[in-house]
Structure 1
């Protein structure tokens, strides 16, 4: 009798499977195109659009996110039992001072709220493929210092105009920057590379971190097999935390593998605050270094909370998706090949800790790969697998909100572009053909494409 019941049960299960049809792929038309971050999307068009946590976090996660938020905005000082450890040399005093409203920074140098820093190195790479630090300067120029301590150097920025003419007679004025190190505390190397880096937005990082490596690699075409002039390659960096090479996702040259590593680097290099990941002062081996600081200055709990805060920042929703001009602008964006690097739609992997990051259909408009952007944007400084003219494709989600979140919007890796149009016109190298096609559009078509980008 027991055998018969078992047989009947198994037969029923098999019949059920036979009767079930395989689920069809969910149609693209069924998705809401406003949801740039999938379940991690927030609807806000104010100056605070980048500052929201992902909706639906549990109570514990909300507490950690809130703690991270407080510390992201916390000003660090030199000597204190709480929030101490700043310096002796540094670039800024808090995370929020660089990432204004969790968005892009301001390309000034020497001012308190400057968000522009400068990587420095000498020719060659170390045994792991990393840039060689410049003697006396490490791999980042710290232009501020504690009282009585000498900053490494001051940065002088000058701009000259460059006129770009359209076939219809209209023109755009680009500004071409020149960067100079002034009053160096130590003789500069005979040959060195100086690379400006403007603080990028930090929202949506949790989703980018959760894109499968296989997906990113599927976008690469290093040898340009399809002959479209666009290659794209990954940057593999050596991560000392795990003692192996990992795919770079963050940083303007995809030179950092994880959010945690990016946060730890910012504390150490930008503020002079050490952590368990990077326990040495950035000034170690230099005259500014003091042996009295032997303890790790940033508690693990704060590093973890700030990492979680950034990981769980929501992405602002896209606006006016059904506007006819925006629809046409999106078609033009694809037509002139912008979408070959700025990939519109990507699927994230599984995240067991934060379900809102898991298996999401997102619209970051990036492939997270390196592309040669031509001599106009080249810094000449290699960074692991990135050459001196290669940069990571910047995500475009939220780009239309920069004027609100930052007051005055700045674009590109060093903020040289003051408008989206200027940013497009700076594209060269692999993007030269796309730029030329943009310039050959009518003024009305260019306006539609830019309006589409402002809707992201």
Structure 2
């Protein structure tokens, strides 16, 4: 059980000492290595300088948990470090570039933005630079799901809402001996496979003449929750369905998981956190007895051609921003890229018409619909969507809410601070003090939030701790306040009340605390 005022401590003095006792892969550095050297699970495309013992000690002091809540901590108003956007928050608050971006790199950001917003069309087309859509797809552009680079929403039931920002992932159980050797060596890796007909996700649109795979259906049940002081709340429990299946039944044992598009800010900064710092907070056996047992997800990287630490996606199923972007192009839009070169996107051999349909691959682009240069620009854009500055971070009620946040145990998983690596080629993300409020680890969130669909090492009850930066601007940017992996929570309070498993003790404290403290906690979250 979490104790009042307790949070799992970050151990930068050892950095990877805590991870060395976890059998993942070759996580630990060789004897005599410089403290803070990147472990084998670090993205090899992230060139970082090693940290000296003196620098580690300095970082330890900076990242120490607060003891005084009467005033803000230094630099707390700048959650993205020097990259933080200080522009007046409005509907474009999540679409600003890193504030410390050199002028000569701004053109790449704008070009990446154009590709992110591009509406793709079906092949063949006279618009050769934009053809290749689908043939099965969930959206015609990245922006259609991540509207204004913000958070998606579950279907509203209105005829005009085709829920392009929500889809169902699908997989089936697979025998453990089907894993390649590199993944079989990862302790706890769970073997799954795509549905043999429908692939890895269900697409609810098709190009002209192509039958869509399904229609997303959901029923909601209201669940009342009694709070202290006579207050009440109501949670809505969803039952998701894949209706009107266009290619026959799903495979036996098919596991479905709803996913709402997350906000896009701060991705490059999360990628720049040294893997060793994330692994240091993992405690899979709950050795310190605090009830929190975060685990690292270890995933196969097509880019690195080996397992890496997962950071991105709702179950930390992707290791890098570039691979996450390429996978979305393939699965969501049906666009081929160097990492996923299939012209038919997520279509399977069982979907003959889809496989045989013309694609937009062009010889001038190496037979791809989005070539290496296009992916470089999109990745640069995604890495440099800035985190907005905090609002009211020094207001008395916000400071009180911050104290409640720590004393309730929320900071045990929603870890406030990191210092990014010293990078040799990414000045915007290099050596920044950031405040993402996540540990990027997997946690058992209880049966209420379980999707019963594993992903790499993540079980059907585990989810990655989502970053909280920018969460208070969701309504401003996205026009709604839907949270959690499937958008079931209609407010921040509802999102907190859905917490179970490792977070159940903290959730119960929120239910039982005085109403003024609960309001202060929400006010603090709204300031992030």
Distance 2:89 2:104 in 1: 28
Counting only pairs closer than 5 Å after superposition, residues 287-326 of structure 1 correspond to structure 2 as 287=352, 288-290=354-356, 292-293=358-359, 295-326=367-398
Aligned to 1:69: 113
Among 279, 283, 287, the alignment partner of 2:347 is: 283
Task: Could you tell me which runs of 5 or more consecutive residues in structure 2 were left unpaired when the two chains were aligned.
Answer: 1-53, 63-71, 184-188, 362-366
Q: Tell me: CA distance 1:284–1:297, structure 2 relative to 1, closer, same or farther (3 Å).
A: farther
The answer for the alignment partner of 2:323 in structure 1 is 261
- Confirm or deny that 1:163 pairs with 2:227: no
**1:253-298 deviation line (CA, Å, top 9, x unaligned):** 0000000000001110000111111011311312322164363111
- TM-superposed deviation, 1:382: 0.5
Deviation at 1:89, TM superposition (A): 0.3
Q: CA deviation at 1:299?
A: 2.1
Q: Is the 8 Å Cα contact of residues 47 and 404 (structure 1) preserved in structure 2?
A: yes
Question: Shift in Å at residue 241 of structure 1?
Answer: 2.5
Matched pairs, number: 435
> 1:202-260 CA deviation, whole Å, 9 max, x = no partner?
11000000000000001110000111111000000011222210000000000000000
Q: Which of 389, 392, 401 is residue 461 of structure 2 equivalent to?
A: 389
Separation in 1 of the partners of 2:434 and 2:101?
19
TM-score by length of 2: 0.80
Aligned to 1:394, the other structure's residue is in SS state coil
Question: Which consecutive unaligned segments of at least 5 residues does structure 1 have?
Answer: 1-21
**Kindly tell me: are residues 164 and 300 of structure 1, through their superposed partners in 2, closer, same or farther at Cα, counting changes over 3 Å?**
same
Say which of 239, 242, 246 aligns to 2:308: 246
Q: Give the secondary structure class of the aligned counterpart of 1:108.
A: coil
Flag the structure with larger Rg.
Answer: 1
1-structure distance, mates of 2:166, 2:97:
26
- The structural deviation recorded for 1:112 is 4.6
User: Does 2:85 match 1:42?
Assistant: yes
**Pairing partner for 1:102 from 149, 169, 177:** 149
State the distance in 1 between where 2:513 and 2:406 align.
13
Alpha-carbon contact 1:98-1:106 (below 8 Å) kept: no
Task: Give, in angstroms, the shift of residue 356 of structure 1.
Answer: 2.6
Corresponding residue number in structure 2 for 1:412? 484
CA contact (8 A) 2:293 2:443 kept: yes
Determine if the alignment matches structure 1 residue 270 to structure 2 residue 332.
yes
Q: What RMSD over aligned residues (CA atoms) do the two structures have, in Å?
A: 1.8
**Residue 150 (structure 1) shift:** 0.9
Instruction: Note the 1:81-96 alignment, pairs <5 A.
Output: 81-96=128-143
Aligned to 2:236: 175
Match of 2:3 in 1: none
Question: Aligned equivalents of 2:438 and 2:303: distance in 1?
Answer: 27
Work out the CA distance in 2 between the residues paired with 1:180 and 1:143.
Answer: 13
Matched, 1:123 2:173: yes
Tell me the distance in 2 between the aligned counterparts of 1:105 and 1:428: 23
User: What's the TM-score once normalised by structure 1's chain length?
Assistant: 0.92
Counterpart-to-counterpart distance in 2, 1:381 and 1:161: 24
